[in-house]
Chains A and B, each alone.
Chain A
């Protein structure tokens, strides 16, 4: 914690700074590269949206930050700087002090993230007792307070229930309570509302943003719902096939996407004002990891694909925005209109 505080005062403005992160995983067919030179940062108190289709590497980035991948079958390269430490090379004992305390995570499916044989109260206590010197009674009190803070009506009663006794929305509230109980500096929320109804989604998002604001927690918000990003994030990063293809302030990116992939995602959103059957879509799908196209990875699906796209694309930085497309300045991409 000492280190963390120092790094903040030393004028480093990013809370989490990922530089050229690469990740390879091993399966029966050998090693394959999953993430390619990912660079992104999260500032203190910032809410960063990470978007992209399934298979683009969003969740893999999250799992790499927390080092939750099997150590024998994964290889990390590059740097993940957090609180003056490089998480890529930091020892497991140190990671255990960081996970749940300084960086915590909420998963998409709360049922598989909660342990079915312990009460939810006990599971929150466990997190607290792991990181703070508390006896069971104090921990239990704080667990109840945490459940209360996420808007659960009778927290003392709910603390004694098992995950199976709760609805999907309630489970996700419990997950949020657990993730925020140690007041981490960074919360990674991986599709936290995808399994929920829109009305419950609105409740959960409201709660999450309110709590993060109160505790000063920064959020890395992984989703494929661009509407949620538009309404809750400060900056956004678009990922495609294991690379960052665009980043910038949410308002600017949505008003004028520079990468054809971001533009395609924005246009694919159904809209009652468009005539039926004419919804623009992105043809094809995310390439398989072992058969990455040469040059621009989005090339084979891109409607603007042309000569320079076969060359390797480097990410271009123009102040607050980045784009990985050699032709972005000449393209006229459609903006989102109501």
Chain B
């Protein structure tokens, strides 16, 4: 009954979304998500990047209906999940799953992997027990976990295997959208690569839509079609993944990009290092004007008083910074057009790498 009716191509939409915690009268109101708007197309991988405290996990939890917005709204296709009754919402959000960071905390230590993977279907009451078990094995197979592991307990398998089981469980109810919240952060780099490949494969096979939340720029830019960069509850920049990572037009994105350790020595030398001072300010008393001004290397007077408006600078690229046009100008003068920078790096690397 509450099946998602496709409205054109939009799978998920946030419209001026606000999520707050605490109490305004006692002066402890925290605006974790503060006016965020974007829409995710069907089958798209939408990346969300930000430091801890930027509100990205709160956003993810609200998108799947685990938290209620305090302002604005979320649309799943063209239905508003928060208009449903509790019972209807519970049924509806089976199609909107979330996979979270810590696979160790995601499993009941007293249940076998198979029991845990079956659980969502058991609760939904789909089919007979035998059918559910059969489906669970099929899902374990999809995530490349051998069936021998099904009867093990969580402590008997590795972190990477647990994260696979976690994904298998999220797939049990045939979701259309999966929010992946820091799903590879706790894994070793080799396993992380495996897991990213798995995510892309599942996306292709099942036509899933992902919201991929991570603090790791490399991870997000590798997997996503478009990315949004969050700072302090707001989206400061969003656009096509490659363009945003290669030619950031917001000083915060630029700083994140330069803070990322670079393996390639030529690329490391070519870029400019920006080390941000300080940490994310206190959530209870956000800075005036632009929220990034306390740490911004390009800060000027206007930033302290006026909040920058988000605008479309290049087709599909939205930035909220007073000096975004200036940054764009600088980058164009240096001949690093929206797609040019990669080429430049590759060229530099090719000449300096011994062969």
A residues sitting closer than 8 Å to B (CB atoms) are 53-54, 167-170, 197-203, 206, 224-228, 230-231, 251, 254-256, 264-274, 276-283, 285, 335-338
Q: How far does the alpha carbon of A274 sit from the alpha carbon of B350 in the complex, in Å?
A: 16
Query: B311 on the interface (CB 8 Å rule)?
Result: no
Which B residues lie within 8 Å of A283 (CB)? 194
On whether the beta carbons of B261 and A228 are closer than 8 Å, the reply is yes
Q: B188–A224 contact, CB under 8 A? A: yes
Q: Does B128 contact A (CB under 8 A)?
A: no
Whether A279 pairs with B262 at a CB distance below 8 angstroms is no
Q: Is B255 an interface residue (CB 8 A)?
A: yes
Q: Which A residues lie within 8 Å of B201 (CB)?
A: 277
Within the complex, the shortest CB–CB distance from B209 to chain A, in Å, comes to: 15
**Interface of B: prevailing SS:** helix
For B52, give its contact among A197, A206, A228, A338 (CB under 8 Å): A197
Q: Which residues of chain A come closer than 8 Å to B193, judged between CB atoms?
A: 267-270, 279-282
Expressed in whole angstroms, the minimum distance between the Cβ of B335 and any Cβ of chain A is: 17
**Is B267 an interface residue, CB under 8 A from the partner?**
yes
* A200:B279 contact, CB within 8 angstroms: yes
Beyond the given A198-B256, A202-B276, A285-B191, please list 8 additional residue pairs across the A-B interface where CB-CB is below 8 A: A198-B215, A226-B189, A230-B264, A269-B193, A273-B346, A276-B223, A338-B264, A338-B346
Complex contacts, A337 vs chain B, CB 8 Å: 264, 346, 349-350, 353
User: Taking A199-B256, A200-B279 as contacts, is the C-beta distance between A230 and B263 under 8 angstroms?
Assistant: yes
B242 at the interface (CB under 8 A from A): yes
Interface residues of B in 127-166 (CB under 8 A from A): 158-160
Are B158 and A285 neighbours in the complex by a CB distance under 8 Å?
Answer: yes
CA distance A65 to B259 in the complex (A): 31
| Complex CA–CA separation, A113 to B222 (angstroms) | 35
- Is B241 interfacial (CB 8 A cutoff)? yes
Q: What B residues does A271 contact at CB under 8 A?
A: 218, 222
> Are the C-beta atoms of B218 and A199 separated by less than 8 Å?
no
Residue of A224, A228, A251, A276 near B265 (CB, 8 A) is A251
CA–CA, A197 and B252, complex, Å: 13
- How far in angstroms is the closest Cβ of chain B from A248? 14
Assess the A277–B349 pair: CB atoms within 8 A.
no
